[in-house]
Amino acid sequence: MTGKCLHATLDFQPPLAWPQLLDFLGSRGAAGVEAVQDGRYLRTVRIADAQGWIAVARDPGAENKLLVELSSELRPVLKPVLQRLRLLFDLDTKPELIAAHLAKDRRLAPWLASTPGLRVPGAFDGFELCLRAILGQQVTVRAATTLFGRFAAKFGSPIETPFKGLTHLSPAAQRIAESDLQTLIDLGLTQRRAQTIHAVAEAFADGLLTLEPGPAGVTSLQQFLAVPGIGDWTANYVAMRALRLSDAFPHGDLALCKALGGVKPREALAQSEVWRPWRAYAALYLWHGLKAGGG
């Protein structure tokens, strides 16, 4: 890095399961736009007319701080960048309060004890997360990452960064909205999925859909659900991450159903009642437990 970089810190209430948070974000990375390397979270950034890159790591000298390095081009938007990072890393939550509630369930208690401080990863950009969620419908995580990489190369502007693999800005809703369906299909989509992405991109480009945390979140979610091709899983996943709704629960998720003993989605939904109002955090612990070999 050069001496022209900006530096900032983000504080939080420990514990914070940083390696697991990085693993979640890295395994679902937005190819070309986002990456995890050497214990750091990296991504490109475009806010208004400013564009650049960021790198975030744990502060080795403090248990309650993250260190943020930013390219100097992001100085005009430093405050919104840091706020988006707080949402992305779920830094304003109270992990001990949530753990005390979820630990009443014996299924979750071992994972709460072994991995304290799991956070619900947010979204740095609402449209980007919607795009990634739609691309991830009924395909593997790896396939979804590959598809997003094609979208980044096609609709995201190239950018120079000091990091290998960090090559493009996130695809802009306006550029996708202005494209024709065949262009999207040629990237590897079915016609129906291309139509869904195009409709969501148009809604974002026209300002009819934002999907950001706040009082209008539930209304935005209903508008999102009204788009053909958006089902309960996609809506709840976006609600968890982009809208920061702590009680969202994608009960149709195959991994969650497996972690709960191979139940059907309806049974998974019924079982989740005891975790309210923190079902999103329960989902993270179930996913973590399954990956760790406990499902």
Per residue in 179-237, pLDDT tens?
Answer: 999 999 999 999 999 999 999 999 999 999 989 898 877 888 999 999 999 999 999 99
- Within 8 A by CB and 6+ apart from 273, the residues are none
The alpha carbons of the chain give a radius of gyration, in whole angstroms, of 19
**Domain presence at residue 258:** no
CATH of the domain at 46: 3.30.310.20
> What tokens does 95 get?
């992990």
Catalytic residues: 253
**Domain presence at residue 155:** no
Mean pLDDT over all residues of the chain?
94
Is residue 239 very low, low, confident or very high in pLDDT (cuts 50, 70, 90)?
very high
Query: Pairing mode, if any, of strands 34-37 and 6-11?
Result: unpaired
**Domain presence at residue 30:** yes
DSSP bridge partners of 46: 51
**Predicted confidence (pLDDT) per residue in 19-38, tens digit:** 999 999 998 878 899 999 99
**Domain presence at residue 227:** no
Three-state SS for 249? coil
**Domain presence at residue 197:** no
Residue 294 in this model has a pLDDT that exceeds 70: no
Cβ proximity of 184 and 197 under 8 Å:
yes
Q: Which domain range does residue 11 map to?
A: 6-92
**Domain presence at residue 66:** yes
For the chain, the domain total comes to: 1
**Domain presence at residue 82:** yes
**Domain presence at residue 233:** no
Per-residue confidence (pLDDT) for residue 62, from 0 to 100 = 95
